[in-house]
């Protein structure tokens, strides 16, 4: 019975996406850390994993998404590199990090509201 309480689709999807968002932050952090390293290629959430995650969302069980490789991998179609082989564009990375952080806050709101609704339903009291 307890499991079914937490099977709300929005809640399950938000939980899965929270993990992905955290991993994406680590990838962007690694890119920004290596902005001055010669020969460094930027990394991001791998396309295969994104594809698989979308498939699992449509099928209805997002937590089953896994991947053969890692979630974060070298971005194969990143744009041009400088003379020393480094293809990190600092402004792009910072912008993506900002929007990633907003996505994380939105997902946290979803998860939090699901739990607060559940608490309200159980206790019968509305907490502000």
Partner 1 sequence: MNVISGIQTTASALDAEKTRMDIVAQNIANAQTTRGVDGKPYHRKVVSFETVMKGTESGANPATSGVQIASITDDPTPGPMIYNPGHPDADAKGMVAMPNVNLAYEMVDLISSTRGYEANLAVVRNAKQMAHKALTIGH
User: Rule CB under 8 A: which residues touch partner 1?
Assistant: 22, 25-30, 32-38, 40, 43, 70-74, 90, 93-94, 97-98, 101, 104-105, 108, 111-112, 115-116, 119
Element (DSSP H or E) covering residue 15: helix 9-33
Shortest reach from residue 58's CB to partner 1, in Å: 26
Q: Which is nearer to partner 1, 59 or 117 (CB)?
A: 117
Contact call for residues 34 and 17 (beta carbons, < 8 A): no
Only one residue has tokens 């979630």, namely 71
Shortest reach from residue 61's CB to partner 1, in Å: 22
Shortest reach from residue 9's CB to partner 1, in Å: 18
Q: How far apart are CA 109 and CA 122, in angstroms?
A: 20
Only one residue has tokens 């400088």, namely 82
Q: Which is nearer to partner 1, 23 or 57 (CB)?
A: 23
Span between the terminal Cα atoms of the chain, in Å: 27
Q: Which is nearer to partner 1, 15 or 57 (CB)?
A: 15
3-class state of residue 52 by DSSP: helix
Longest dimension (CA), the chain: 64
Q: Which is nearer to partner 1, 33 or 59 (CB)?
A: 33
Shortest reach from residue 60's CB to partner 1, in Å: 23
């Amino acid at each position: 019975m307890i499991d079914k309480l937490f099977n709300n689709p929005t809640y399950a999807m938000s939980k899965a996406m929270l993990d992905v968002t955290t991993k994406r932050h680590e990838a962007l952090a690694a890119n920004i850390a290596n902005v001055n390293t010669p020969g460094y290629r930027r990394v991001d959430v791998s396309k295969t994993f994104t594809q698989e995650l979308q498939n699992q969302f449509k099928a209805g069980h997002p937590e089953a998404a896994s991947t053969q490789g890692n979630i974060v991998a070298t971005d194969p179609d990143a744009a041009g590199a400088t003379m020393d082989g480094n293809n990190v564009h600092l402004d792009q990375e910072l912008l993506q990090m900002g929007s990633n952080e907003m996505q994380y806050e939105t997902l946290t709101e979803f998860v939090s509201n699901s739990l607060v609704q559940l608490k309200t339903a159980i206790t019968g009291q509305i907490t502000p």
